[in-house]
Copies of this chain bind each other. A is one copy, B any other.
Amino acid sequence: MSGRLVVVGLGPGPAEWMTPEASEAIAEASDVVGYGPYVERLTLRPEQRAHMSDNRVEMDRARLALTLAAEGRTVAVVSGGDPGVFAMAAALFEAVEEDPRWLGLDIRVAPGVTAMQAAAARLGAPLGHDFCAISLSDNLKPWAVVERRLRAACEGDFVIALYNPASQARPTRIIDAFALLRGAKAATTPVAFARAVGRADETLTLTTLDEADPSRADMATLIVIGSSETRFIARNGSRPWMVTPRAYGARQ
């Protein structure tokens, strides 16, 4: 089997956050496979074939990409952000296990800037110390696992980045998550809602755990919950910076 497959991270949106490796992988591909809105971001040449699919069909998409690669095509599977972070890389390797022939393919992953990094860059340095990333989607894991991880994240006083906070199919999990967090963390904990960072409709909302309105989150929102050390640095006429200092306990 002579085909090649690369799982490519396009970053959060703008071209300035897409690595040269990712751009090159797209340029070299005979076939580009991905969720429609990600494929549509790209400018492909007429001879490049685009295979667009709906959201939530990751395994079908992975199998299609592997089938094309096994036919000798040069395939790019595109993902927003970093394909390794709540995106296509895991689905691709799960599919690889289904057919032993696919294990022989030349597969690689091109990393990218993921949503929490783009959000953190806009906010200041909220991820400046130990942090965790949790997807609130319970499509593929029991909600009890999400709760266990949220509790553990509070116990460890991690900064928490919440991915996939809400969708039309599960609008209330984020409400449940905030109820749990409010029971375990200080009311004044800094919180940021970062929506569509890097895109035309980018919105950043700074608030506190007590005052946050979790119902404002949607699938394009990345939420950052501070640790006990995270703070806002006020500025005149501008949004405060959100910073988690490198030192722990220095002010206590």
Contacts and interface: CB of A to CB of B under 8 A. Distances in A.
Interface of A: 11, 15-21, 24, 58, 82-86, 89-94, 96-97, 103-104, 108-114, 117-118, 120-122, 124-135, 140-142, 145, 148-149, 151-153, 155-158, 233, 235-236, 241, 243-250
A134 B131 CA distance: 7
A84 B120 contact: yes
Contact of A248 (B83, B130, B142): B142
Given A90-B244, A152-B158, A84 B145 contact: no
B155 A117 contact: no
B245 A94 contact: yes
21 contacts: A16-B21, A17-B21, A18-B20, A82-B117, A83-B121, A83-B125, A84-B117, A86-B129, A89-B125, A90-B129, A92-B125, A93-B124, A93-B243, A96-B241, A104-B235, A109-B121, A111-B117, A130-B134, A131-B133, A152-B153, A153-B156
B117 A121 contact: no
Contacts of A11: 19
A233 B98 CA distance: 11
A108 B121 contact: yes
B19 A103 contact: no
Given A17-B21, A141-B248, A158-B149, A111 B103 contact: no
A220 B185 CA distance: 34
A125 B90 contact: yes
Contacts of A112: 113, 117
A175 B161 CA distance: 29
